[in-house]
Structure 1
Amino acid sequence: MRFHRPYLLSVLSIVPLADRATSLPSLWGNIRVKHTWGTLPANWESLGPPPTGTAIDLYIALKPHSENALIEALYQVSDPGHERYGAHLPREQVAELVAPRQDTLKLVHSWLEHHGVPSSSISTSHGGGWLTITSVPVSQADELLSASYQLYRHTGANATEVILRTVSYALPGVLHEHVQTVAPTTDFTPPRKLLQTLGQHPSEGGATADVNATSRGPVRVLPRTDDFDVTPSFLRWLYRTQGYVPAAMGHNVLGVLGLIDEYPSYADLTQFMINFRLDAIAATFTVQQVNDGGFDPSRPGKEANADIQYAAAMTYPTPHIFYSTGGYMRWVTNGPAPHDAYLVWLNYLLHQEDIPPTISISYGYHETLVPLEYASSLCTLFGQLGLRGVSILVSSGDDGVGGSEYCRDNSGRVRFVPMFPASCPWVTSVGGTVGYNPEVGMYMSGGGFSVHFARPIYQGGVVPPFLGYLGSQYAGLYNPQGRGIPDISAQASRFKYILNAEQRVASGTSMAAPTVAGIISLLNDHLISTGRHRLGFLNLLLYSHGRNGINDITSGSNPGCGTDGFTAIPGWDPVTGMGTPDFMTLQHIIDLLIPV
C-alpha cells in the first residue's frame, strides 16, 4: 500500500491509541478552509444559533484508496464494446473499490478522539467510505469544524422550511487529502419536487390523446401542441410498449424514490387503473421507510401519487417499491430532523444485497447550492449503484435553463442553473417533450451544462456539434466543458392522475422520469426473464448503439433566466438530450448486443 505522508504512518504506528491525544496535537493545527460561501447564499436568511443543547449527526466522506478505480470499473461494465460489459459487481467488491486507505482511517479517528468524540458514536458505512458520528452537540461541531452553525430560512414565496447549516467550515491541513467532505455543513439544498400541478381536469378543458392500444396509428388525428391530456395508453402507444407483457416478476422490480413527506395512496392507484388501465386494477406497491420516512396513505402527495401511478401503468404487473425517505436537516419541533435524504437513502441502498434494477427519481436541487465536494461525494454513490447494475432515471428539472430565483450567483453574475442529481454523470437525466406529429422539446425541460462535473467521455462525440451550432450565444452564462443535460426525454405535459379520488392534471419532467424508468424496466424484464444481465448504468449504451432506438427531437426550446434558452436541433441538445425512447427498437438492439 502506498502512503502520501509516510511520517504520519510511522507516528500512528508507534504511538498507542490512548496517547495520541497528547502526542499528535501539532497535526491538528494549520486549519484550512474546506468550503465557504463567503457570504450567505442568495434567498436565505439567518435566524441565529440553534437552542442550547442541540445535537446533530455528522457524515464524513473519506477519499478512496484509488481515485479512479470505481469509474474505470463502471465504464467497463457499462460499455457494450467492452469484454466486461454487464459484469456488474456484488456489494462486497464495490466496497473494496471505494474503501479508504488505512492511514486515512487511523488519522481521522485520531482527530476525532483528540476532540473528545467517543468511539461509540462513530459508525462506518458500506465500504468504509463514510463515517457517521451521531448526536454531536452543535457546540462541539463548531469546534471540530471551525464552523458557526445557525438556523437558516429560505426567503422565497411560501418557504417555511428552516435548516441547520454553516456558511463555512475548515479542517486541519493534514486532513484535506483524506477527507472529501463533511455534511451537513454548507449545502443549502432542500430537495424540490418537480411536479407542476395544473388543477383538476374538468377545469382544464384539454382533449385526451386517445389511441388504439393494438396499433401504431391513432384513433383520431392527434394535436401538435400541448392542448391534450396524456394517459398511460397514449404513452404505451407512443413509445411502443403496449405489446410487451412482463415475465420476470419474481426478479425484476422498479423502485421509486419518495422525499419531503409525500406518500402514495393504494386507493388512488386502484382508481387510476380503473380510469386508465383496466387490466392493471390489481397493481400495488410495497413501502420501505428510510431515515425515519413516514407513510400515511390517507394523506397522499401529488408527486408520490403521480410517480407511482405512471410507473405502475407503464410496467404492470412488475412489482414496485416506494422508498419513503425522511430528512434533509430541516428544523422540527425538537431539533434537526434526520440528515440529507439523498445521502442516507443512497447509503441505505448500497447496504442492501439486492437493489431494484431500475429506479426513478423526480426530485432535485439547484446545482449551484450544492458544494462541489459534497455533490461529488453523492455522485460517487450513484456511480456505485451503477456498478451494482442499477439504472437510475432522474428528472432534469422544470425551469428550462434556470429558474429566475437562482439565475444569479452570490456575486450578482447571471448564470444558467442546472439541477442536481440530474447533472451527475453516473445517472441518466430525463428531459421533457410535448405534443405529437412531431414531439417537440417542452419549454419547461431542464437542460444545460453542469457547473461541477466535466463532460464525460460518452458525450465527447455529441456535445461539441451542439456547441458549434450555438457559437458565441450565451457565452459566459454556462460551462461549455460541463456535463450536458439531459440524456433522454419523454412526454412531460398534462398528465392525468388521481389525488384523493379526484382526477387532476400535472406537468413536469417528474412525469417524464417514471415514464422512461418504466420503459427501461421493461427492457430489464426482457433481459432478466431470458437469463441475461440487467442493463445497469445506461449512458454508454444510449450514446452508442442505443442511438438508433431513440427518436431525435429537433424543435422546441427551454427558456429561463431572462433568455430564450437553448434550442433543440438534430442530434444531442440541452433541451431533449438524444431524444425519446422507442422500446421495440431498443429491445431489438439489446438482443443483438446481449444474445440469449
Structure 2
Amino acid sequence: MHYHCISVLFVIVLFLLGSLAKPLSPPWDDMHIKHSWNVVPKNWESLGHPPSGTTIDLHIALRPQRENAMVDALHEVSEPGHPRYRAYLTKGQVADLVAPHPETLELVNSWLEHHSISPSSISMTHGGNTLTLKRVSVTQANTLLGASYQLYRHVERGETIVRTVGYSLPRALHWHVLTVAPTTSFVSPRTQWQTPRNCSDGAVMSTSEEPAMMLSSRAKVNRIMPSFLRWLYETEAYTPNTRGENVLGVLGFLGYYPSQTDLTAFMQKFRSEAGDATYTVVLVNGGEYDPTHPQQEANVDLQYAEVMAYPTPHIFYSIGQGAPGMEDLFSWLEYILDQENIPQTISISYGIEERLMSREYAINVCDQFVMLGVRGVSVLVSSGNDGIGKGTCLRDDGTVRFNPRFPGTCPYVTVVGGTTGHEPEVAVKFSGGGFSDYFKRPSYQEEAVSTYLQDLGNRYQGLYNASGRGFPDIAAQALGLPIFLEGKVYGVGGTSVATPIVAGIISLLNDWLILTGQAPLGFLNPWLYGRGSRGLTDITEGSNSGCNMDGFPAIVGWDPVTGLGTPNFRRMLEQLF
C-alpha cells in the first residue's frame, strides 16, 4: 500500500512539473474589445457582407521585449552632442531591439494554431515584431478577432474597402498584441495638393478652397519658377558629387504614376542642364507603373524633388492598392525596413485625419518611422492642405475639434508646411498645422512649442491638445508652382509641392556629408530645433484658416503653420561643421 501511494505521488509530481514547463493554453474564447467605433465613421456606408471567398491579409503587431529600446536608440543617434550621434544601426541591430518576448510569440502562435491558421500562411518581419497572415478568409478573420467585417463604400469617392467597426482579442493577448490591421481604420491616404489648372500664355494658376487666383504678371510668375526656388533657398551653387551613394526616395500611392516624358520636358524648360534627369521605379506590395497615364500628384512629387536635388539618383516607390488606407503606408514600411540599403531621404506627400484610425494603430505605424530614423533616414511628410481642419470640424458628439493629420502628427518624422510670396515669405492659409491628439509633445520641441502657446494664450482653448506634438517643423513655397502633365504646363499648390522641395534640400545636405566621409543627417528634428534652426528663415506673417476660424497665427519662432521656417541650404550647411 505504501509503495502504491509513493507511485501515485510520483505520477502527480511528474504531471505538475510538466504543467509548469508548458503552461495550459489560455481560454481563447475569453474575448475583450481591443478597439471599436460607436458608429460607422463619417462618409462611409455599409454594403453588407463581402462576397463569399473574400480574403484579407492581417498584420499583427507585437509588443517588443525591450519596450523603449528603439526610441532610446533614436534619441542617441539623433541628438547632436551625444557620443553616438549619427552612429546608425544596421538592419540586424534594429531587428534585435524590436524582437518580441519568446512568451509573446508562443502565446500568439498557440492562439493562431487554435484557430487553424496554417503556419505556411504566416510570415515574420523585423525579428518577429510583426506577423503577417496571408489570405485569411473574412469568415476566419471574424472568428479570430470577434469581428464583423463588411464591405464599406466611401460616399464621395466611391472606393470600397473591407473593414469592421470593432474587433476583440482574448484577454491573455491584450498586453502582447499592440494592434491588428486592417480592422477599424476607415481611411485612404489623401494627397496634399491643390487641383491644378491649365496655364495659358505662361501664366500660372493655382487653386485652394477659394476661387483660383491667376498670377498674370510675368514678374510674379518668375518668382515661383524652379530657378527662383533654387535662388531663394540658396541651392543653385551646389552640385551633388556622391556618384550614386546618396539617394532620394519618393512614395506613390493610389495608383498614381509619374511620367519620364513629363519629367524630361519639365527639366528642359526649368533647369535646362538637367534634361537627362531620370528615376528608378520600385514596385511594392503589388504596385504598378503605367507612365502613359501619369497623375499630377506623382509628377509634382518627382519633378520638384528632381529639380532641387539633380543629379542625385531618385527612386519612385509605387505601392499597391491591395488594402487601401494607411495599410498601404504600413506595407511600404515593412518593405523598406527589410532592405539592407535605404535612401537617405524620403518624401511622403500623403496623409489622413488622425482621428480616423485607432490610437494603437497610429502608434504602431509611427514606431516604424523610429526604425527608419535609427538607420539614418530623413523622412519628410506634408502637413496637409486643410489648415487646422476641413469644413466645420464638427464631431459626432456635436463638439468642434481641430483635425490634426497623420503621419504628420508622428513625432519621428519632419513635417513640411507651406508658404507663399517673397520679401517676405508668408504662411499660405491652407498650410496644415496644429497639435496631435494621440502623441505627446516630444522633448526636442518642448521649449519652442511652450513659447508659442504662452503667446497664444486662451485662444482656441479646448479645441486642440495643448500637450500634443506640434506640427509642422519646417516649410517651403506651396502656391502657384508649375508642373508638366501630359505635355502641358499646369500650376499647382499644396504642401505636397513643398515637401519634395524640402526633401531635395535635405538630400543635398546628406550628399555633402557623405562626400566628406560623414554619416547622413538621419532623423532631423533634434538638430533642427537646436543648432539647425539657425539655417532657417523664420516666417512671421499669415495663418492657417480652417474649421470656419482664422487658425493659428505665424509668429517669431516656431508656430503650427510654418514650423521653424523655410530652409536656406547655405546657412544649414554651415550648421553641420
TM-score range, shorter chain: over 0.9
Partner of residue 406, structure 2: 420
Give runs of aligned pairs for residues 384-403 of structure 1, distance below 5 A.
384-403=371-390
2:518 pairs, out of 529, 532, 547, with 532
Give runs of aligned pairs for residues 322-471 of structure 1, distance below 5 A.
322-327=316-321, 329-330=323-324, 340-404=327-391, 407-471=393-457
Q: Deviations over 1:114-151 (max 9, x none)?
A: 11111111110122110000111101100110100001
Partner of residue 281, structure 2: 287
Partner of residue 68, structure 2: 68
Partner of residue 143, structure 1: 143
Partner of residue 244, structure 1: 238
Partner of residue 50, structure 2: 50
1:543 pairs, out of 512, 529, 542, with 529
Aligned equivalents of 1:11 and 1:233: distance in 2?
73
Aligned equivalents of 2:201 and 2:558: distance in 1?
37
Partner of residue 475, structure 1: 461
Corresponding letter in the other structure for 1:252: N
Q: Deviations over 1:83-116 (max 9, x none)?
A: 1101010000011111110000000000010111
Partner of residue 163, structure 2: 165
Q: What secondary structure sits across from 2:550 in the alignment? A: strand
Aligned equivalents of 1:259 and 1:136: distance in 2?
24
Aligned equivalents of 1:12 and 1:522: distance in 2?
59
Q: Deviations over 1:386-417 (max 9, x none)?
A: 00000000000000001117x23332321111
1:14 equivalent in alignment to 2:56: no
1:267 pairs, out of 237, 240, 261, with 261
Corresponding letter in the other structure for 1:383: V
Change (3 A) 1:232 1:106: same
Which deviates the most, 40-49 or 276-285? 40-49
Partner of residue 85, structure 1: 85
Check the 8 A contact 1:207/1:229 in 2, yes or no: no
Partner of residue 197, structure 1: 195
Q: What secondary structure sits across from 2:185 in the alignment? A: coil
Aligned equivalents of 1:504 and 1:85: distance in 2?
43
1:308 equivalent in alignment to 2:302: yes
1:180 pairs, out of 164, 178, 192, with 178
Aligned equivalents of 2:291 and 2:20: distance in 1?
53
Corresponding letter in the other structure for 1:431: G
Partner of residue 544, structure 2: 558
Corresponding letter in the other structure for 1:107: L
Corresponding letter in the other structure for 1:501: G
Q: Deviations over 1:343-381 (max 9, x none)?
A: 110010000000000000001111110110000000000
Check the 8 A contact 2:205/2:491 in 1, yes or no: no
1:256 equivalent in alignment to 2:243: no
The alignment-based identity, stated in percent, is: 54
Deviation of 1:473 (Å)? 1.1
Q: Deviations over 1:449-485 (max 9, x none)?
A: 0011000000111001111111111111100010001
Check the 8 A contact 2:242/2:511 in 1, yes or no: yes
Q: What secondary structure sits across from 2:47 in the alignment? A: strand
Aligned equivalents of 1:10 and 1:67: distance in 2?
31
When normalised by structure 1's length, the TM-score is 0.90
Aligned equivalents of 1:449 and 1:41: distance in 2?
22
Q: What is the root-mean-square deviation in Å for CA atoms of aligned residues? A: 1.9
Q: How many residues align?
A: 551
Partner of residue 573, structure 2: 587
Check the 8 A contact 2:449/2:470 in 1, yes or no: yes
Change (3 A) 1:67 1:10: farther
Deviation of 1:11 (Å)? 5.6
Corresponding letter in the other structure for 1:391: S
Could you tell me which runs of 5 or more consecutive residues in structure 1 were left unpaired when the two chains were aligned. Answer: 1-8, 16-22, 209-219, 331-337, 592-596
Aligned equivalents of 2:223 and 2:350: distance in 1?
23
Q: Deviations over 1:40-93 (max 9, x none)?
A: 111211111101111111000001011111001001100012111010100000
Aligned equivalents of 1:577 and 1:127: distance in 2?
36
Corresponding letter in the other structure for 1:46: S
Q: What secondary structure sits across from 1:28 in the alignment? A: coil
Q: What secondary structure sits across from 1:409 in the alignment? A: coil
Corresponding letter in the other structure for 2:252: G
Larger Rg: 2
Q: Deviations over 1:475-528 (max 9, x none)?
A: 111000100010000000011000000000100000000000000000000000
Aligned equivalents of 1:349 and 1:567: distance in 2?
37
Aligned equivalents of 1:203 and 1:291: distance in 2?
42
Q: What secondary structure sits across from 1:451 in the alignment? A: strand
Change (3 A) 1:284 1:56: same
Could you tell me which runs of 5 or more consecutive residues in structure 2 were left unpaired when the two chains were aligned. Answer: 1-16, 207-216
Aligned equivalents of 2:78 and 2:219: distance in 1?
38
1:276 pairs, out of 249, 255, 270, with 270
